[in-house]
Amino acid sequence: MTTVLRSVAQLRAWRRELPVGTRVGLVPTMGALHEGHMSLVKLAQLRCDVTVVSIFVNPLQFGPNEDLTKYPRPIEKDLEQLQASGVDALFLPPVEAVYRQDASTFVVEECVSTPLCGAFRPGHFRGVATVVLKLFNLVQPDIAFFGQKDAQQCAVIERMVRDLDVPVEIVRGPIVREADGLALSSRNVYLTPQERAVAPKIFESLTAARTAYERGERDARALVAVGREVLAAEPLLRVQYWEVRDPASLEAIERVGKGGALLAVAAHLGTTRLIDNLVLS
């Protein structure tokens, strides 16, 4: 039976009752759970004695014109999935339990958070880093699990943990995809049937660039051109960025070297913004 903890006091009391030496895993989410989230739960259960999932739609990481109010919140369905999978605890706080009304302290990472999504969503990673550090302080996990689909988010959190000496191991779980290649995302429910039929083109653009790489192409601009060409054929897709970056620092690179590369793309289908990535190694 999954224990539902709705306040900081309840969470801390529950955490204090765990035996000394219990290995705690944390899977932070915003809910609307899918198989991508559940794959992280399975990783946590393999590596930890106790698994905690948090569901919190974090207002700090949404911009003024983004989808905070309409973000899906099927909490009963989410809880059913967590109970069926044997999750030990769910932290389900209201906003006021996480952020005091006069809160004035935030976490800002100033390097890996600035390109890609950071260039188009100012303040987004400030909100991500702040809430994740708060969750780490509250849950005190040994390991925290995040999805590779949000590769830049993973990089920001890894950098924060490194720079602030947070005693948490960060594990990236692989991207989980539909049969046609579309990366699972809670926002996929926004897609119309016509948009859903087009959405796999995003992954197709990444795999086309990977094929060019496997055939010997190392020039970053050439790989970008291959990926963009696939998306240019779809009038419904509006590309926000398609870039080749260093997989660790997220700095722009001219050629793919021994360190590999991250191929990263963001595109709009109607009102829905989708992101995806692929690592060349």
Domain with residue 194: its CATH number is: 3.30.1300.10
CA 39 – CA 224 distance, rounded (Å): 30
Model's pTM, two decimal places? 0.97
Mean pLDDT in residue range 59-68: 93
* Pair 157, 246 in one domain: no
Is the pLDDT assigned to residue 259 strictly greater than 90?
yes
CA 263 – CA 53 distance, rounded (Å): 29
* Pair 165, 192 in one domain: no
- List, in order, residues 6 or more apart from 196 with CB less than 8 Å away: 182, 188
Band (pLDDT 50/70/90 cuts) for residue 191 is: very high
Mean pLDDT in residue range 33-50: 98
* Pair 132, 247 in one domain: no
Select from 124, 139, 173 the last residue of a domain.
Answer: 173
* Pair 156, 231 in one domain: no
Q: What pLDDT score does 6 carry?
A: 98
**18 falls within a domain:** yes
Q: What pLDDT score does 264 carry?
A: 98
Other C-beta atoms closer than 10 Å to the C-beta of 163 total 11
Share of the chain above pLDDT 70, in %: 100
Mean pLDDT in residue range 38-48: 98
Q: What pLDDT score does 278 carry?
A: 98
* Pair 167, 199 in one domain: no
Is the pLDDT assigned to residue 25 strictly greater than 90?
yes
Contact between residue 270 and residue 253 where contact means Cβ atoms under 8 Å apart: no
Is the pLDDT assigned to residue 225 strictly greater than 90?
yes
* Pair 166, 191 in one domain: no
* Pair 152, 58 in one domain: yes
Q: State the total domains in the chain.
A: 2
Lowest-pLDDT range of 45-54, 58-67, 146-155, 165-174:
58-67
**266 falls within a domain:** yes
**Residues known to be catalytic:** 37
Is the pLDDT assigned to residue 181 strictly greater than 90?
yes
Q: What pLDDT score does 65 carry?
A: 85
Degrees to nearest 5, angle at CA 224 with 194 and 202: 20
**150 falls within a domain:** yes
Q: pLDDT tens-digit profile of 108-151?
A: 999 999 999 999 999 999 999 999 999 999 999 999 999 999 99
Which residues constitute the domain of residue 127? 3-173
* Pair 114, 76 in one domain: yes
Mean pLDDT in residue range 67-95: 97
**180 falls within a domain:** no
**178 falls within a domain:** no
**In 3D, which of 123, 155, 5 has the Cα closest to residue 59?**
123
Q: What pLDDT score does 169 carry?
A: 98
Angle between helices 151-164 and 124-139 (to 10 degrees): 60
* Pair 54, 93 in one domain: yes
* Pair 118, 69 in one domain: yes
Select from 152, 173, 194 the last residue of a domain.
Answer: 173
Inter-residue long-range contacts of 220-224, CB under 8 Å, 24+ positions, other chains counted: 220/244, 220/252, 220/253, 220/254, 220/255, 220/256, 220/261, 221/254, 223/256, 223/261, 223/263
